[in-house]
Amino acid sequence: MSSFPVLVILIPLGGAFLVSLVQLLLPRLVKPLLIAVALAQGLVSAALVTAVARSGAVSHHLGGWPAPVGIALVVDELSALFLAVAGIGMPLTLLYLTATSRTSPGKTAVLLCLYAAATAGQTVTGDLFNLFVFIELTTVVTIGLIARKGTGVSAAHAFHYLLYASLSGLFLLLAIVLLYRATGTLDLARIAALGPDLPPRVAALALASVMVAFGIKIALVPLHLWQPGAYAAAGSSVAAALSGVGMTVSTYALVRLVWSLGGGNDVPGLVLRVLLVGGCVNVLVGHVLGLVQRDIRRMLAFSSVAHAGYILMGLGLGTAAGLAAGMLHAANHAIMKMAAFWSGRALMQHASTPWIPRLQGVAYAAPGWFALFMVATLALVGIPPFHGFASKALLARASLDQGLDLPVVVIAVGTAISLAYYARLYVVALRIPRRPRAPPPASPGRWAAGLIVAVLCLACLALGFATPAVMPALDRAAIRAFGLPAAVGHPRSETTPRSAPDPFGPEAP
C-alpha cells in the first residue's frame, strides 16, 4: 500500500511513454493500452483514497531517504479528496477520448497521460520543489493540449497561456527561493511546522507570490483572461480535464501552500479577505460574462471562472466549515463540469456548430444527450437535489456562521444569472427548426461516451443525497490538516425564534 503514491504517478507516466512507442509500432494496440492505463490508474487511485479514508495518511519516502534529504510522497485526508478528482477524472477523460476518437487518439492521448501523471503528482507530493516540477509539467502539457488542433487561433491561445503560465511559474519559483533561504528545507510538512517562525517580510512576499501564481492557474479575476479562449481552443473533450481536474488540483496546491505559510490557523486576514472578496467578484464577473457568450465552450469556461469564485469564497472564510465546503464544491464542480463539457460536445456535434443560436432542435435530435446536459447544468446552477446545491448550501451556511450575509446574496444572484444562460440554451435547443436538420455525421463511441457521462450525472444526483454522510469526514480533514477552529462563534444564534404557537406548525412530537 505504501508504494501506491508512487504508482499513481508512474502508471500514467509509463503509459505516456508506452503509448507513444506503440503508436509507432502497433497503432492498433493504442486504444486497448489506453484503456488499460486508465483502468489501472483509476483502480490504484481509488484503492489509495479508500485506504486513506479508512486508516489515515499514507506516506512514502522515495529511495528510503528521510525527509531533509529525500523526497516524501504524502497522501493525507485533504490530498485524498483531490487525488480522487485527479486519479479518477483523468482516467475518465482518457476513456472518453478513447471512446470518441475516430482513429487512434495519437498525441492528445500522450499529452493527457502526462497530464494525469502531473496532476496526480501535485496532489501526492510532500516536497515543495517536487510540486513546482509537477506544476511546470502541467503547464507544458497544457500548452500542447491548447495548441493540439493546430489552427492559428489555437496557437494564439496557447501563446497567451504560455505567457501567463510562465509568469505563474516565475512567481512560484520566487516563493520557493524565499522559503528555502529562510528555512533551509523544501519539505512541506517542515515548512508548515516552521511557518509561524518565518520572518514576517519573507512570509508576506512568499504569500503574495503564491497567491498570484495560483491566481493565474485558477483564473482569479482579472487574471482569468487566458482561460475562456484556451478552453474553446482545446476543444470540449480536453477542456473538461483542464477545468475539472486542472483547476481543482491548482486549488489544492493553493490551499496547501497558503495554509502552510500562514502556519495553520494563522493565515493573515488580508489574504483571507482577498480570497473572499476575490471569490465574490469571480462569481459575479464569471456569470455575467457567461451570459453574453454565444459559444457553448466559452460559456462553460466562464462558468468555471464563476465556480472558482465559489471555491475561493469558501477558502476565504478561514474556518474549517468554509474550507470543507469550498473543497467539496471543488470536487463537485469537477464532476458536473466534465459532464457538462462532454454532453455539450455531443449537442455541438449534432448541430455541427458550437454557436448557441444555431442549436435549434437539438433537444429533439439528441434527447438523451440533452437530458444529460440538463442534469449537468442544473447541478452547476445548484438546483436541489443535485450535489451542486448541497455544496452551495454548505458554503452559504459556513458564511452565515461567520455572520456574513453578502456571500450568500452573491451565491443567490449568481445562481439566478447562471440559470439565465442555461435556460436560454434550453430554449434554443427546444425550438423546432424551420428546415429539418441534416442528420449529423455518425460519431463513434456514442454509447460508451454516453455511459461515461451518465455515470457522472448519476454521481451528481447520488452525491447530492450523500453529502450529509461525506461532510463530517471532510470537516475532520480540514480541522486535522490545519488545526482550524470548527467555527468562530455563531453571532446569529443569540436571536431566539419567536415562541408564539404556530397553528400551521408541525405537531409536537
> Across the strands, what pairs with 59?
74
Give the Cα separation of 66 and 487 in Å (integer): 36
Residue 409 interacts with another protein (CB under 8 A): yes or no: yes
- Comparison of 60 and 307: residue with beta carbon closer to another protein: 307
Contacts with another protein in 304-363 (CB under 8 A)?
A: 361
**308 backbone dihedrals φ, ψ, rounded to 5°:** -55, -35
Type and span of the H or E element at 129? helix 128-146
CB of residue 378 to another protein, shortest distance in Å: 8
Residue 53 interacts with another protein (CB under 8 A): yes or no: no
- Comparison of 225 and 458: residue with beta carbon closer to another protein: 225
Site string for another protein, 141-160 (x = CB under 8 A): ---------------x--xx
Residue 462 interacts with another protein (CB under 8 A): yes or no: no
Q: According to CB under 8 A, which one of 28, 54, 435, 498 is a site residue for another protein?
A: 498
Let me know: does 94 contact 220? Beta carbons within 8 Å: no
Residue 67 interacts with another protein (CB under 8 A): yes or no: no
Q: According to CB under 8 A, which one of 431, 437, 446, 480 is a site residue for another protein?
A: 431
Residue 497 interacts with another protein (CB under 8 A): yes or no: yes
Residue 371 interacts with another protein (CB under 8 A): yes or no: no
Residue 81 interacts with another protein (CB under 8 A): yes or no: no
CB of residue 495 to another protein, shortest distance in Å: 6
DSSP letter for each residue of 7-75: HHHHHHHHHHHHHHHHHHH-GGGHHHHHHHHHHHHHHHHHHHHHHHHHH--EEEEGGG--TTTS-EEEE
DSSP letter for each residue of 418-473: HHHHHHHHHHHHHSPPSSPPPPPPPPTTHHHHHHHHHHHHHHHHHHHHHHHHHHHH
- Comparison of 26 and 423: residue with beta carbon closer to another protein: 423
Interface with another protein (CB under 8 A), residue total 74
CB of residue 270 to another protein, shortest distance in Å: 6
Residue 181 interacts with another protein (CB under 8 A): yes or no: no
**300 backbone dihedrals φ, ψ, rounded to 5°:** -65, -35
Q: What nine digits make up the cell of 33?
A: 493500452
Residue 495 interacts with another protein (CB under 8 A): yes or no: yes
Q: According to CB under 8 A, which one of 14, 43, 284, 364 is a site residue for another protein?
A: 364
CB of residue 496 to another protein, shortest distance in Å: 8
Residue 294 interacts with another protein (CB under 8 A): yes or no: yes
Give the Cα separation of 455 and 335 in Å (integer): 10
CB of residue 291 to another protein, shortest distance in Å: 9
- Comparison of 163 and 455: residue with beta carbon closer to another protein: 163
Q: What nine digits make up the cell of 256?
A: 496547501
SS3 497: coil
Three-state SS string over 202-245 comes to HHHHHHHHHHHHHHHHHCCCCCCCCHHHHHHHHCHHHHHHHHHH
Q: Which stretch binds another protein (CB under 8 A): 44-52, 238-246, 325-333, 409-417?
A: 409-417
CB of residue 329 to another protein, shortest distance in Å: 15
Residue from 356, 107, 377, 342 nearest 240 by CA: 342
SS3 76: coil
CB of residue 173 to another protein, shortest distance in Å: 13
- Comparison of 270 and 458: residue with beta carbon closer to another protein: 270
Q: According to CB under 8 A, which one of 24, 438, 442, 500 is a site residue for another protein?
A: 500
Residue 268 interacts with another protein (CB under 8 A): yes or no: yes
SS3 173: helix
Residue 177 interacts with another protein (CB under 8 A): yes or no: no
Radius of gyration (C-alpha) of the chain in whole angstroms: 23
Q: According to CB under 8 A, which one of 426, 440, 473, 480 is a site residue for another protein?
A: 426
CB of residue 227 to another protein, shortest distance in Å: 8
Kindly give, in sequence order, each residue whose CB lies less than 8 Å from that of residue 24, ignoring residues fewer than 6 positions away: none
Geometric angle at alpha carbon 273, from 268 and 276, rounded to 5°: 130
- Comparison of 1 and 423: residue with beta carbon closer to another protein: 423
Contacts with another protein in 100-139 (CB under 8 A)?
A: none
Q: According to CB under 8 A, which one of 21, 163, 177, 458 is a site residue for another protein?
A: 163
- Comparison of 167 and 473: residue with beta carbon closer to another protein: 167
Question: What's the Cα-to-Cα distance from 500 to each of 171, 504, 508, rounded to whole Å?
Answer: 60, 12, 14
Q: Which stretch binds another protein (CB under 8 A): 11-19, 21-29, 95-103, 495-503?
A: 495-503
> What percent of the residues of the chain are helix, what percent strand, and what percent coil, each to the nearest 5?
75, 5, 20
Q: Which stretch binds another protein (CB under 8 A): 1-9, 41-49, 308-316, 411-419?
A: 411-419
Residue from 399, 401, 385 nearest 465 by CA: 385
Site string for another protein, 184-223 (x = CB under 8 A): ----------------xx-xxx-xxx-xx--xx-----xx
Kindly give, in sequence order, each residue whose CB lies less than 8 Å from that of residue 336, ignoring residues fewer than 6 positions away: 376, 377, 379, 380, 386, 387, 388, 456, 460
- Comparison of 18 and 233: residue with beta carbon closer to another protein: 233
Site string for another protein, 375-404 (x = CB under 8 A): ------x-xxx-------x--xx--xx---
